[in-house]
Amino acid sequence: MVKSQDHWCLNNGNYTSNSTYKANLDTLLYSITSLIDGNGFYNASYGENSDRLNAMALCRGDFQLDKCRSCITNATDALLQLCPYQKQAIYWAAVGNCMVRYSNESIFGKLATDPRKAWLVTSDAPSRQEFNRDLRTLLDNLRSQAAYGGAGKKFAAANTTAPDLLTLYGLVQCTPDLSSDDCSDCLIQVAEIIPQCCNGKLGFGVYCPSCLLRYETYLFYNDTSLPAPPPPPMSLPTPPLPAPPGKDKNTTQTIINVIVPIIVGLIVALCIGFFLRFRQNHKPRAKLETRDEISSVESVYYEFGIIRAATDNFSNANVLGQGGFGIVYKAWKNWHEGMITNVIDPALRTSSRSFHDIMRCIHIGLLCVQEDAADRPTMASIVLMLTSFSITLPIPSQPAFFVSSCFDPKISLLRDLKSIPSETKESSYRRSSNSACLSINDATMSELYPR
């Protein structure tokens, strides 16, 4: 086994034998033995200004407290003898069992990988490549466990099998004042020495102010004092025993026979429910042919009072013209001038629904008497306008006012044809047959009485 030096007297200033710094150093170092805790670590500061110093002590994580204190006492005595009058020094006991360090500079919580103490076993592993692979896996696991396993003692030790019937034992440790990331970085840096000097060697150890790493092919640490392994995971419930041969197929068939009808029934019920709801909310009021003709239309009724109010009791003054389906009353002039409410009975304006229906009837009526017959909606379109309030109605153009050339004022437009004297009917018929009653633009022909 080849080892390097185990102490460093750093050139960071000197002190005299009768100085305050010397007195403070003796007081601090000799108090470490009694004050070191169960984790094997101690750090403290003592003194003021230029006479202030910081000290740190660390025992290997597998040491019992009494063995740790004995190692620290011996290391303190050796350090004061080997580095007299030095304001900064480090001492590692044999094979890294403990460390004592002091300085007139701040050293707590700071990563330091220099100076280093290292040694190696000169013998080589027979299967070097496989040995290095297993060693790397072991050290990576130990590094992660020590750095991130807990703040009290950043220490880990374990073993693993290696080729050629060998067993690898590894140990890593950091000073607990380091952060987890700094501890991991320190162990990575000291492990980088292995490929440079000790590739495939059966043993190696390295120590620095902030961490230590060691591996051997024999048990060199006290495994009885290691932290207890984590508790085993909770046992899972025992899975049910498999069905006897021949019954698995019957069980599967039974499940299919029960589950499938239930699922199908639910799907059918949902489909029926959605269909009925859709049909109720979207029930059509009219059936139209694709050629814009009516095949079947539900009757659309408007109350007589609404129509009478809109025409001022069917006043002749509101007569606008007459087509094949009856008399058209005035709404254009008032519509065009924005005074359509003038033709609506004020009593009907109290109901927003009735008022909306009246306005829509007037609007549709004006569309039906537009001057250009091509602009007038077909009956199919009118049915849609009357039954669907989601359709936006176009703006009507000026109607073709009816100019009567055969109109008999003595005949009431609303009187039943049966109540008209026979001579009047004959006279009217002769006039109707002898002269055409045309609209002003010759676009349509209108008769006095509905067909």
Each residue's pLDDT tens digit, 355-388 = 777 888 888 888 888 878 888 888 888 887 887 7
Give the orientation angle of helix 128-148 with respect to helix 180-191, to 10 degrees.
160
Give dist(CA 172, CA 84) in Å, integer.
31
- Are the C-beta atoms of 162 and 217 separated by less than 8 Å? yes
Choose among 72, 1, 3, 85: nearest CA to 43.
Answer: 72
Which residue, chain included where needed, has tokens 């100085």?
A: 19
Helix (H, G, I), strand (E, B) or coil at 169: strand
Mean pLDDT to the nearest integer, 80-87: 90
Q: Worst-scoring range by mean pLDDT, 85-94, 196-205, 252-261? A: 252-261
Tokens of 371: 């001057």
- The string of pLDDT tens digits covering residues 263-278 is 877 787 877 877 777 7
Sorted by sequence, the CB contacts under 8 Å of residue 392 that are 6+ apart come out as none
- pLDDT for 320 equals 57
pLDDT at 103 over 80: yes
Using only C-alpha atoms, the chain has a radius of gyration, in whole angstroms, of: 55
How confident is the model at residue 321, as a pLDDT? 56
Would you say 169 and 218 are in contact if contact means Cβ atoms under 8 Å apart? Answer: yes
Which residues lie below 8 Å from residue 332, measured CB to CB, with a gap of 6+? 320, 366, 396, 398, 399
Mean pLDDT across the chain, nearest whole number? 76
Q: What is the mean pLDDT of residues 281-306?
A: 48
Tell me how far apart the alpha carbons of residues 302 and 309 are, in angstroms, rounded to a whole number. 12
State the pLDDT confidence band at 95, using cuts at 50, 70 and 90.
Answer: confident
HSE value, Cβ hemisphere, 13 Å, CA-based, for 171: 24
Q: Enumerate residues 6+ apart whose C-beta is below 8 A from 185.
A: 111
More confident residue, 423 or 395: 395
Provide, rounded to the nearest whole percent, the portion of the chain with pLDDT above 90. Answer: 35
**In this predicted structure, which of 30-34, 242-246, 385-389 has the lowest mean pLDDT?**
242-246
* Whole-number pLDDT of residue 433: 46
Mean pLDDT value of segment 429-441:
46
Please report which confidence band the pLDDT of residue 295 belongs to, taking 50, 70 and 90 as the band edges: very low
How many residues appear in the chain?
451
pLDDT, residue 410, reads 45
> Which 8-state DSSP code applies to residue 380?
H
Predicted confidence at residue 414, as pLDDT, reads 40
Nearest partner of 408 among 450, 447, 451, judged by Cα: 447
Query: Tokens in use for 110?
Result: 């700071």
Which region, left, alpha or beta, applies to residue 109 given φ > 0 means left and ψ of -120 to 50 means alpha?
left
pLDDT of residue 57: 94
Cα distance between residue 211 and residue 101, in whole Å:
13
Cα–Cα distance, 126 to 324 (Å, whole number) = 116
pLDDT of residue 318: 64
Stronger pLDDT, 374 or 130, i.e. the higher one: 130
Residues 15, 16, 20, 22: what is their CA dihedral angle, to the nearest 10 degrees?
Answer: 70
Mean pLDDT of 56-66: 92
Which of the given ranges, 134-138, 221-225, 262-266, has the highest pLDDT on average?
Answer: 134-138
User: Does the pLDDT at position 58 exceed 50?
Assistant: yes
pLDDT at 387: 78
Provide φ and ψ at 93, rounded to 5°. Answer: -70, 175
- Which is higher by pLDDT, 337 or 75? 75
- Which residues partner with 326 through β-bridges? 323
At residue 262, the 3 state secondary structure works out as: helix
Is the pLDDT confidence value at 420 over 80? no
> With contact defined as beta carbons under 8 Å apart, do 125 and 166 qualify?
yes
Q: Which domains does the chain have, with CATH numbers?
A: 1-108 (3.30.430.20), 121-225 (3.30.430.20), 294-403 (no CATH)
Sign of CA dihedral 345, 348, 349, 352: negative
For the segment 387-416, the average pLDDT, to the nearest whole number, is: 60
> Using 50, 70 and 90 to split pLDDT, how confident is the model at 241?
very low
Contacts of 395 (CB under 8 A, 6+ apart): none
- Give the pLDDT of residue 261: 77
Rounded to 5°, the CA angle 124-125-128 comes to 110
pLDDT for the residue 189: 95
pLDDT at 193 over 80: yes
Range 75-89 average pLDDT = 90
Q: How far apart are the first and last CA of the chain?
A: 129
CB 96 within 8 A of CB 214: yes
Q: pLDDT per residue over 309-349, tens digit each?
A: 666 677 766 665 555 445 555 676 777 777 777 777 776 66
Helices (H), 38-115: 65-82
Q: Residue 11: phi, psi to the nearest 5?
A: -85, 80
Q: Which has the closest alpha carbon to 173: 135, 193, 146? A: 146
Rounded alpha-carbon distances, angstroms, from residue 262 to 213, 266, 272, 273, 274: 67, 6, 15, 16, 18
